């Protein structure tokens, strides 16, 4: 089965390419610029800018994938807020081009986000949407385009993805915590936000099941624990035997952010557990796997 993955140079994209190619899928990885996956694996790479409709059409026509996993995005809320025109091009136009030019028989899997919801998480798949910022709004509009397509479509929403940072991947929040504590540097981390962080291999496995079972509709692929960034940081310290006293417990008011983010976010995973047999690791296990301890 031919699976085309967009945004293959990004954090989730790289893990998806490595996971699905290891599982025997015929993977076509597409992203901007040079291929940044440094690990050897069996897949094909194409450098494309998804905002160029002509190139998108050509690549889809060349490979005719059975499955398109649209993972690429302008994924940083602050960047989207500062450059709304670029955000619309990368998050909405690119989605439209892929939807228009993939085979009508292709399974289209769109990677969305918990940011399509507002406060009062954790949320179920069908909860009322209400993005609090431009990034969330752009992802919600892309979801609506996907829902309008005739054929097999799936929307996947992860939260706060973490996992191993292989060579060529950007480090996650957990690595920032580890690096600072190892250097004896104090850090401030907020405790008045809640998330359900997703271990990256869990989402890869969930997507693999969605492909194999040909599931349609929306699925939340998140972690099982509702936890604040402060508690994530102290778990990293506990697991790695680092000095927890360096982590200062602060509120969001300490870091006035230009972009509004939900305090109570997070996603419920009951549907994924029932339909996909999704069985994510708990946060502590995820941290151990992330750092191989």
Interacting residue ranges for ligand NAP, rule: CB under 6 A: 7, 9-13, 31-33, 49-51, 71-75, 90, 94, 111, 113, 139, 158-161
CB of 114 to ligand NAP, least distance (A): 6
CB of 124 to ligand NAP, least distance (A): 17
CB of 139 to ligand NAP, least distance (A): 6
State which residue, 172 or 234, has the beta carbon closest to ligand NAP. Answer: 172
State which residue, 88 or 247, has the beta carbon closest to ligand NAP. Answer: 88
State which residue, 246 or 291, has the beta carbon closest to ligand NAP. Answer: 291
Query: What is the Cα–Cα distance from 118 to 223, expressed in whole angstroms?
Result: 19
Q: Angle at Cα 271 formed by Cα 266 and Cα 274, nearest 5°?
A: 135
Angle between helices 173-182 and 229-240 (to 10 degrees): 50
State which residue, 149 or 246, has the beta carbon closest to ligand NAP. Answer: 149
CB of 7 to ligand NAP, least distance (A): 3
Residue whose C-beta lies closest to ligand NAP: 10
Residue 151 region by backbone torsions, left for phi larger than 0, else alpha for psi between -120 and 50, else beta: left
Query: What is the Cα–Cα distance from 198 to 284, expressed in whole angstroms?
Result: 12
Backbone phi, psi, residue 125, to 5°: -55, -40
Angle between helices 283-291 and 173-182 (to 10 degrees): 70
Structure-token pair, residue 110:
């769109």
CB of 157 to ligand NAP, least distance (A): 7
State which residue, 161 or 242, has the beta carbon closest to ligand NAP. Answer: 161
- Alpha-carbon torsion (140, 70, 109, 171), positive or negative: negative
State which residue, 176 or 246, has the beta carbon closest to ligand NAP. Answer: 176
Backbone phi, psi, residue 156, to 5°: -115, 130
CB of 267 to ligand NAP, least distance (A): 9
């Amino acid at each position: 089965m031919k699976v085309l993955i967009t945004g293959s140079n990004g954090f989730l994209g790289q893990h998806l390419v490595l996971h699905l190619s290891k599982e025997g899928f015929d993977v076509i990885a597409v992203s901007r610029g040079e291929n940044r996956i440094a690990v050897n694996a069996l897949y094909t790479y194409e450098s494309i800018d998804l905002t160029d409709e002509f190139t998108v059409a050509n690549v889809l026509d060349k490979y005719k994938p059975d499955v398109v996993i649209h993972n690429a995005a302008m994924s940083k809320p602050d960047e989207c807020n500062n450059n709304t025109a670029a955000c619309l091009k990368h998050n909405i136009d690119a989605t439209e081009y892929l939807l228009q030019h993939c085979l009508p028989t292709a399974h289209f899997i769109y990677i969305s986000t918990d940011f399509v919801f507002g406060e009062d998480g954790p949320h179920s798949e069908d909860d009322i949407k209400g993005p609090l910022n431009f990034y969330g709004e752009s992802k919600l509009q892309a979801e609506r385009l996907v829902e309008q397509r005739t054929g097999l479509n799936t929307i996947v929403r992860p939260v706060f993805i973490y996992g191993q940072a292989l060579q060529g991947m950007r480090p996650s929040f957990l690595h920032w915590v580890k690096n600072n504590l190892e250097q004896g540097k104090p850090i401030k981390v907020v405790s008045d936000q809640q998330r359900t962080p997703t271990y990256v291999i869990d989402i890869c496995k969930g997507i693999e099941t969605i492909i194999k079972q040909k599931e349609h509709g929306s699925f939340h692929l998140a972690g099982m624990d509702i936890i604040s960034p402060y508690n994530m940081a102290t778990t990293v310290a506990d697991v790695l035997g680092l000095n927890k006293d360096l982590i200062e417990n602060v509120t969001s008011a300490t870091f006035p952010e230009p972009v509004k983010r939900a305090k109570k976010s997070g996603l419920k995973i009951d549907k994924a557990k029932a339909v996909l047999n999704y069985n994510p690791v708990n946060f502590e296990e995820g941290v151990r796997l992330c750092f191989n301890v």
